[in-house]
Structure 1
Amino acid sequence: MGAFDPDALECLAAVVEEGSFERAAQRQLISQSAVSQRLMGLEAQIGVALVVRSRPVKLATAGQLLLKHVKQLRVLRADFGRDLRTLVPGSTRRAFDDERISIAVNADCLATWVLPALRELAHHGHPLEIIADDHTLTHQWLREGLVQGCVTTQAQGLKGCKVVAVGQMDYVAVAQRAYTGRHCPRGLGMDNFREIPFVAFNRKDDTQAQFVAAALGLPQVRLNQLFVPSAEGRLEAVLDGWGAGVFPRLLVQGMLREGRLCDIAPGTSRAVPMYWHCWTLESEVLDHLTAALVRAAQNHMSVEPLAA
């Protein structure tokens, strides 16, 4: 099997990242038929289909392997661009603008400690892409080769990846002060947990149910839930009296001190271990990213970091 056409590889990545041949063509500044021809050329070279031509386009198994190869090349080119900029400042920034580093994180980490970790990388011009998903599902983005790293609750590493335990997110259940006085003045209990609406991220978010079950000593619970797909949006809804929510202590500790929010399960918290997974490439960019995330996590999380 000969070397792969770099333009065809980037077409594959564009089709998957954009979700359609049309948008991939717009991004690549070529015609849609040219995108199809380049992709068919790759498929002919390999001998199997690379994508499922649906809406949005999905990767076949061989496509997942090839996309991971494309993203590994991007990391290596990003390393080269970084080294060359050090040698000749400003000379290669435009040439390496597309060597984007993609990571998957959950909304709570994104709203608390991840952005401070990425500040230096962003200020130094590293192209970044952050994909938000449930903390139990970010692992899948890495498994499918769609990102180079992820923050997840999964401790088990993937083949070809390293795992670093970064710490624990401490979660508490809160509600607006006036709402607490009306609906749960004595706190969360067996008599009221079914009536209190809990504001969750989406239908995949089981954080609220797991917290309530543990707080009440029940094997599992069914909650009355509302869905707001962002950490800040959920918090705003709780502050507006929509119901209760389970949040990282980092996010709400100031509002608890100010009295805007009340802890409706005093003395109860849930510590959720967090892990950083990334490819085991020899890459200064990935090493720098890993060090920044670990440092920020340990600086911001309220519980001592786990042993690696």
Structure 2
Amino acid sequence: MTLDPVQLATFQAVIEQGSFDAAARALHVTPSAVSQRIKALEQVVGQVLVRRARPCVPTDAGRPLVRLGGQVALLEDEALEAARGALRGHARTRVAVVVNADSLAGWFLPVLTALPDVVFELHTDDEGHTAELLRDGTVMAGVTTERVAVQGCRVQRLGAMRYLAVAAPAGHRAWFAGQDLTTAFAAAPMIRFNRKDTLQHRFARMVTRHDVDPPTHFVPASASFTEAIRLGLGWGLVPESVARTDIAAGRLVELTGGDNHLDVPLYWQYWRLESAVLSALTAAVRTAAAAALR
């Protein structure tokens, strides 16, 4: 069985654009043509591939074709680039990447300047969940805590991001000074990035040997997360590179006197393709990670 490349590209457009109408506009065809192509592809595969929702999403059967469509598009872009040589005015290669928010706010973003002819589509998620976007084909590469390669991907260890548990000086005095740590962590307000963020709970369990369930604020942006701690809303784990500056300036205090920290190992996973763009991106990521991570 051979998949029709036009049908596959149309399926990819529906998933990327989120609807049949938007895909039709992107492909410069009618919505009817898009619908016919998707139905024809589903008949070939023998499965429903698109869940007609808002936005449209792939079914379990459709996810492998999302990845295949992205791989075909990447290789086609690179082949056209090589064939055209120095010709100007052509479309740039697009690469979708997922990165955890702290890496994106810290060491990762300058990596992209190493590939000036590439257009990037960045996704963010908790580092423990970024691999899901690799599995379903949404992205071509990502920073993740998952050390076992996702099917169809290569994996390389980048290093570890170190986090320090900190609070504003007034918060430290109110919640932790002179307190038993188990009692303090059970009562002191906690800052979490979102409900996927378990770093604070992991740290509290590490130092107290108990699970805690304190009052919790959710602040889903790296800079605002740290600012919330500076303002005294609660305590939280902040990347060492940020925390050390604030500690030296007296804006933050390390909760456990510098004896404890949490290291989160990070890995780079990317599609197993002979792609010049992915190879160059991987080299840039490894160089930046070597300078920024432990």
Is TM-score (shorter-chain normalized) higher than 0.5? yes
Instruction: Output the CA distance in 1 between the equivalents of 2:162 and 2:264.
Output: 6
Alignment counterpart, residue 166 of structure 1, candidates 142, 153, 158:
158
1:194, distance to aligned residue in structure 2 (A): 2.1
Question: Structure 1, residues 237-265: CA drift from partner, whole Å, max 9, x if none?
Answer: 11222111112112322112111111112
* Structure 1 partner of 2:192: 200
Structure 1 residues 220-246: Cα deviation after superposition (integer angstroms, max 9, x where no partner): 332321111111121121122211111
> Retained in 1: the 8 A contact 2:199–2:237?
yes
Q: Flag the 1:23–1:251 CA change in 2: closer, same or farther, 3 A.
A: farther
**Unaligned 5+ residue runs, structure 2?**
none
Q: Contact 2:167/2:229 (CA < 8 Å) preserved in 1?
A: yes
Secondary structure in 2 aligned to 1:24? helix
The aligned residue for residue 225 of structure 1 is 216
CA contact (8 A) 1:187 1:265 kept: no
Q: Distance in 1 between matches of 2:168 and 2:234?
A: 8
User: Percent identity between the aligned chains?
Assistant: 34
State whether residues 190 and 216 of structure 2, in contact with CA within 8 Å, keep that contact through their aligned partners in structure 1.
yes
Residues 43 and 50, structure 1, Cα contact 8 Å, conserved in 2: yes
- Secondary structure at the aligned position of 1:250 is classed as helix
Residue 94 (structure 2) aligns with: 100
After superposition, the C-alpha distances for 1:169-209 in whole angstroms (9 at most, x for unaligned) are: 11111112232233333478122212222111111111110
1:153 corresponds to which residue? 145
CA contact (8 A) 1:213 1:221 kept: yes
Say if 2:167 is the partner of 1:175: yes
**1:138 maps onto 2:123 in alignment:** no
Aligned to 1:306: none
- Measure how far apart 1:290 and its partner are: 0.8
Q: Distance in 2 between matches of 1:132 and 1:178?
A: 32
Contact 1:173 1:264 in 2 (8 A): yes
Question: What is the CA-CA distance between 1:82 and the residue it aligns to?
Answer: 4.5
Shift of the 22–235 alpha-carbon distance from structure 1 to 2, 3 Å rule, reads farther
1:277 aligned to which of 265, 269, 276: 269
SS of the residue 2:155 aligns to: strand
Deviations 1:152-178 (A, max 9, x none): 111111222111001001111111223
Whether the 8 Å CA contact 1:81–1:93 is kept in 2: the answer is no
What amino acid maps onto 2:145 in structure 1?
Answer: T
Query: Aligned letter for 2:231?
Result: D
**Shift, 1:151, TM fit:** 1.0
1:102 partner SS:
strand
**Aligned position for 1:190:** 182
Aligned counterpart, 2:254: 263
Distance in 1 of aligned mates of 2:28 and 2:176? 58
Find out whether 1:5 has 2:5 as its counterpart: yes
2:120 to 117, 128, 135: 128
Superposition RMSD in Å:
2.0
The letter of the residue matching 1:251 is V
Deviation for aligned residue 1:101? 0.7
- Does 110-119 or 289-298 show the bigger shift? 110-119
State the match for 1:57 in structure 2.
56
In the alignment, what sits opposite 1:118?
112
One-letter amino acid of the counterpart of residue 241, structure 2:
L
Task: Name the TM-score, length of structure 2 as normaliser.
Answer: 0.91
Hey, what's the Cα distance between the residues in 2 that align with 1:133 and 1:231?
12
Q: Which moved more, 1:204-213 or 1:173-182?
A: 173-182
The runs of at least 4 aligned residues of structure 1 exceeding 4 Å deviation read none
Q: 1:22 and 1:247 mapped to 2: Cα distance?
A: 43
- Structure 1 distance, partners of 2:152, 2:69, is 15
- Indicate how the Cα distance of structure 1 residues 18 and 175 shifts in structure 2: closer, same or farther if over 3 A, else same: farther
Rounded to whole Å, the distance in 1 between the matches of 2:174 and 2:43 is 67
Q: Deviation digits for residues 83-129 of structure 1, max 9, x if unmatched?
A: 356x31xx2543x33x31111111111111111222222xx120111
Distance 1:255 1:81, change over 3 A: farther
Aligned residues: 293
Could you tell me which residue of structure 2 aligns to residue 25 of structure 1?
Answer: 24
